[in-house]
């Protein structure tokens, strides 16, 4: 089964396009939890349990686990094993390196961690992306990111057009070799609509809603497939750190439910 079909089934079954980002920051853990790997593990397992009925996907960020030290990958592996089997996992690590190194990154993501999809930086070209195009897996390629300085490169003119539109067209071609998606920030709603018109069949992973200021309703209206669907709206800090008290899991569930409610039943497509 294709990744896109898996996501579509999951989204339809729970009426949700919410992707819960797992970015465990020791400095932001609830006050009663220890600031160590054990605290992170307890924190994330409770959040996953609380949001499992709302999350269309979970997106662990490798950097936050690596920051835990040598045991960080063990924490990530344990967390991955506790994500329900019907919920896809996107490993966020924005890999992008030459072919043989990219192959090892793909082995780590898919064979060791058990991810269903990854985020990939396209700067080094197709060699950096090809190893992630395995059957049933998906490579979400950075196109137009939500950070403020994204324009430094992503808006550079190429034959009179911004680079992000050229990137989207290139990824469309790459998708003939395996499943690709695009990472497009919610902080760029007009550009999101533009990219959807040039990429009508690619799934979009959309960060930047909530803490970064993106509007969830605008994302659904401008980023969905013409017939609806095709988007994963990621929220990390707004869900994970909705409370720093002992009610953190309940607060995370409410934040995730609020995001689902804000994006459910809206007219979709462009």
CA angle 235/21/181 to nearest 5° reads 85
Q: What whole-number distance in Å separates Cα of residue 20 and Cα of residue 130?
A: 26
Which of these, 75, 72, 137, 129, lies nearest to 111 by C-alpha position? 137
Q: What whole-number distance in Å separates Cα of residue 160 and Cα of residue 139?
A: 28
Sign of CA dihedral 144, 147, 151, 153: negative
Burial of 24 (0-12, 13-18, 19+ CB in 10 A): buried
Which of these, 48, 49, 44, lies nearest to 30 by C-alpha position? 44
User: Which residues on neighbouring strands pair with residue 120, listed in sequence order?
Assistant: 95, 141
Residue 94 annotated in active site: yes
Q: Which of 28, 59, 94, 197 is catalytic?
A: 94
Active-site residue numbers? Answer: 94
């Amino acid at each position: 089964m294709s990744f896109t079909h898996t996501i579509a089934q999951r989204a339809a079954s729970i009426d949700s396009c919410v992707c819960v980002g797992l970015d465990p920051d020791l400095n932001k853990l609830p006050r009663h939890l220890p600031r160590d790997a054990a605290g992170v593990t307890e924190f994330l397992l409770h959040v996953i349990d609380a949001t499992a009925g709302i999350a269309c996907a979970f997106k662990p960020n490798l950097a936050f686990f690596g920051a835990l030290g040598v045991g960080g990958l063990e924490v990530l592996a344990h967390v991955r094993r506790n994500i329900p089997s019907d919920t896809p996992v996107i490993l966020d690590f924005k890999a992008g390196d030459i072919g043989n190194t990219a192959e090892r990154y793909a082995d780590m993501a898919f064979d060791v961690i058990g991810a269903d999809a990854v985020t990939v930086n396209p700067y080094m070209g197709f060699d950096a992306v090809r190893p992630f195009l395995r059957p049933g897996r998906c490579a979400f390629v950075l196109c137009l990111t939500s950070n403020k300085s994204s324009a430094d490169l992503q808006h550079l003119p190429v034959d009179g057009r911004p680079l992000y539109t050229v990137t989207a067209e290139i990824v469309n071609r790459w998708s003939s070799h395996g499943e690709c998606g695009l990472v497009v920030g919610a902080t760029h709603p007009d550009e999101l609509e533009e990219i959807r018109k040039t990429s009508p069949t690619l799934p979009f992973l959309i960060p930047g809603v909530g803490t970064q200021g993106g509007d969830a309703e605008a994302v659904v209206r401008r980023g969905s497939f013409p017939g609806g669907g095709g988007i994963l709206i990621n929220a990390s800090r707004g869900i994970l750190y909705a409370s720093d008290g002992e009610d953190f899991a309940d607060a995370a569930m409410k934040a995730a439910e609020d995001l689902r409610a804000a994006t459910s039943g809206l007219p979709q497509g462009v």
